[in-house]
Chain A
Amino acid sequence: MIKKTTFQQKINYQKRGTALVLFSLVAGMVGLAFASEPLYRIFCQVTGYAGTTQVAASVPKSNEVLKRIVAVRFDANVNSKMPWSFRPVQREIKVRLGEQALAYFEATNDSDQPLVGTASFNVTPYKAAIHFNKIDCFCFTQQVLKPGQTMKMPVTFFIDPELAKDSGVDDLRTITLSYTFFQDDDQSAVEKLAAKRIDAKDGVNSKKAVTSRNG
């Protein structure tokens, strides 16, 4: 063994320290990359980014209904792997700001087996999403349809009167609310929910099977 000079020892010590700091920087960035997934979701829910609608328990009591009218259009899609047909019952309704409204969609299971589906949603223009409040929606829960069954699905919503104060949406006359039904990977709800809703023909879905999806 050749004896190290103190200079070399000092350099080696420094090198290790630097490398340690740099490796932890890398680890931190990897952590940040994965943390960005929940952060992105929360960010969208809070700010209405990417057309993420807001959720409200009810229309606030203090709410005043303004004269300004916005047309809400409805758009329904199904994922290519989902054998359902899905359409809005009404194409468009005109609502006053602050006024609670109810709209229906209709889905039919075209396949020969019961299927669980969940609808994803957004509104366009995106800038309207922060003002678009859903009180209740079939998209908050999983939906089960028996083969050939057709079901009406409601959505209750209101547009926040605050919209009138947002200069970014001065040009807003129309909001499109869009849904896409996807087949759930987890089909276990078929038996559970089908049993519960055995006599609820054509009815509104049970709210018991609330998943963690909201907003």
Chain B
Amino acid sequence: MSDTATAATHDDHAHHDHKPTGWKRWVYSTNHKDIGTMYITLAVISAILGMGASMAIRLELAVPGIQFITDTQFYNVLVTAHGFLMVFFVVMPTLIGGFGNWFIPLMIGTPDMAFPRMNNISFWLLAGGFILLVLSGFVQGGAGTGWTVYPPLSNADYHPTPAVDFAILSLHLAGASSILGAINFITTIINMRAPGMTFHRMPLFIWASLITAFLLLLAIPVLAGALTMLLTDRNFGTTFFDPSGGGDPIFWQHLFWFFGHPEVYIMIVPAFGVVSQVVSTFSKKPIFGYLGMAYAMASIGVVGFVVWAHHMFTVGFNVETRIYFVLATMVIAVPTGIKIFSWLATMWGGSIEFKTPMLYAMGFIFLFVVGGVTGITLANAGVDIAFHDTYFVIAHFHYVLSIATIYGIFCGMFYWLPKMCGNMYDETLGQWQFWITFIGVNVLFFPQHFLGMAGMPRRIPDYPDAYAGWNLVSSIGGAISLVGALLFLYILWKTIVSGEKAPANPWGEGATTLEWTVDSPAPFHTHEQIPEIPEEEHGEKVYVSPGAK
């Protein structure tokens, strides 16, 4: 970057593993590992808040009638906060900011990100966004718009207080953070790979991060533009989304979903990357169909930009438009199928070790298939008109987005925890945690398919008695999931304070990527000597970087 940064790097060569101390180490940090750790820490805090909101929702919905949320706007605020927190402050910071920052430089064999100071501002913008979002909950009634922020509900008539403005500015900051982070990721991956690591030999997690970063670059500016228009509609009398001045609320839906659909791939593609690494490691085989896997992710990303209107089938498109969006959406099943079958083929004939990360990877595949199948159901415009805004949609997107993605996060956490903190987690506790969570989330979300098919609408704090049974089951599943989440926090704490010391490579011969060639925990400065990637090893062409010494 600048001359001083280069000088500092050289200085560090002299005093090996010299690092700043105290608060300056974190606040001024330009170190990709420290920044990654801060992202994950922020995500854990947001996850506690976001899960708190969802537990309050499930508690309210356990039985018919209004239990304790007497202010229905407060219910809307909980729903909104849960969505915003989980999407922008849990899933994205962990999978992209956390794992991406930690492992992109480690896996491609470079000392740090391309622009370490920009990396710092990316994190602190996100932290600012988080603070604004929390503040919005305390401003006069809060933002009860849902994460989709549809006008007219979100305009000044129905949300007159600044709470929605706080939420909008919060998303602006989170968006700016993501854009800067994405530019950093792409620049790093394109320019700073170790000699010998061609694009077609990068680990799949790197491919996933690269594709995700491009999706962020193309999608987030559209959200930023739409949010700015909403902000001026609310405060400065413009009428982008207001029919009284010639605007159109449907226009918001187009803009939002042009961002929103790529956004769902932004959340799931990094999880694809993590799961690919883990499946390969614990099957002790290179990933099956490496190139197909990489290009499947790329094509999911590309097609993801031209299917947005399948979120809007009820707004009254003509038949031709609906046919196009149905077909384009269904096309995504093809690359997704390539991924699923390639993971299965990687496991096929492998010497599989069922350690916790592998359980989570297999759980991810199962949950993603279930969510994908209901996705195909909803992709049909005719069916979708019946299921629109019901719990069937809730069940579908929680299977793919929340629990499958969270499984990707748990998978990566257990897989990389030894590298990040230097200690091994307790395998028995880890497997307990997996099974408790697996049972919990399925009991929580599977019955919501039945509720949705019976017509239960989403975002309503009360429901007719006919929906009582499965709602109670669902809430019990929520309680089981809570036990799983608390157990995870306990495991995290226990591993950090009293875990067994981990070797550089705790996973054995299957772990071939470069992060396992450095010590555990990864030293403050790594890959100061840039590793060389051989083209062949044991007479076989190497795709994923091998365990170079």
Contact = CB atoms under 8 A, between A and B. Distances in A.
A19 B183 contact: yes
A185 B318 contact: no
Contacts of A19: 114-115, 183, 187
17 contacts: A1-B3, A15-B187, A18-B186, A25-B218, A29-B222, A32-B221, A32-B222, A33-B255, A34-B225, A36-B251, A50-B316, A120-B243, A120-B246, A182-B244, A182-B245, A183-B244, A185-B237
B251 A40 contact: yes
Given A8-B6, A14-B191, A182-B243, A33 B186 contact: no
Contact of B221 (A8, A29, A44, A168): A29
B183 A2 contact: no
Given A26-B179, A33-B221, A2 B187 contact: no
A180 B244 CA distance: 8
Interface string A9-41: 001101100110011011101101110110011
B245 to A, nearest CB: 7
B218 A185 contact: no
A18 B316 contact: no
A22 B186 contact: yes
Please give me the 7 A-B residue pairs with the lowest Cβ-Cβ distance, nearest first. Answer: A33-B225, A182-B244, A29-B221, A30-B221, A18-B187, A22-B183, A127-B318
Contacts of A208: none
B191 A15 contact: yes
Main secondary structure of the interface of A (DSSP, over half): helix
Given A1-B3, A15-B191, A19-B115, A180 B243 contact: yes
User: Among A37, A41, A81, A184, which residue has the most Cβ atoms of chain B within 10 A?
Assistant: A37
B10 interface: yes
B224 A2 contact: no
B190 to A, nearest CB: 5
Interface of B: 1, 3, 6-7, 10, 114-115, 157, 179, 182-183, 186-187, 190-192, 217-218, 220-222, 224-226, 229, 237, 240, 243-246, 248, 250-251, 254-255, 315-320
A4 interface: yes
Contacts of B237: 185
B495 to A, nearest CB: 36
A26 B246 contact: no
Contacts of B245: 182, 185
A2 B349 CA distance: 54
Contacts of A104: none
Contacts of A1: 3, 7
B221 A50 contact: no
A211 B459 CA distance: 41
A189 B320 CA distance: 43
Contacts of B254: 36, 40
A180 B248 CA distance: 13
Interface residues of A, number: 42
Given A29-B218, A168-B318, A185-B237, 4 more contacts: A15-B187, A36-B254, A50-B250, A213-B246
B224 A22 contact: no
Nearest to B187: A18
A98 interface: no
B320 A168 contact: yes
A126 B183 CA distance: 42
A40 B241 CA distance: 12
A8 B254 CA distance: 45
A125 B319 CA distance: 12
A124 interface: yes
Contacts of B192: 11, 15
Contacts of B222: 29, 32-33
Contacts of B179: 26
Contacts of A50: 248, 250, 315-316
A90 to B, nearest CB: 25
Contact of A126 (B115, B224, B248, B318): B318
Nearest to A47: B318
Contacts of A118: 244
A63 interface: no
B114 to A, nearest CB: 5
B114 A15 contact: yes
A127 B320 CA distance: 10
A197 to B, nearest CB: 23
Interface string A136-156: 000000000000000000000
B187 A33 contact: no
A113 interface: no
A161 interface: no
A120 B246 CA distance: 7
A79 interface: yes
B180 to A, nearest CB: 9
Nearest to B218: A29
Nearest to B259: A33
A124 B187 contact: no
Contacts of B115: 15, 19
Contacts of B190: 14, 18
A51 interface: yes
Nearest to A121: B243
A81 B3 CA distance: 61
Nearest to B225: A33
A12 B1 contact: yes
User: Among B182, B220, B229, B248, which residue has the most Cβ atoms of chain A within 10 A?
Assistant: B248
A130 to B, nearest CB: 9
B265 to A, nearest CB: 16
B7 A79 contact: no
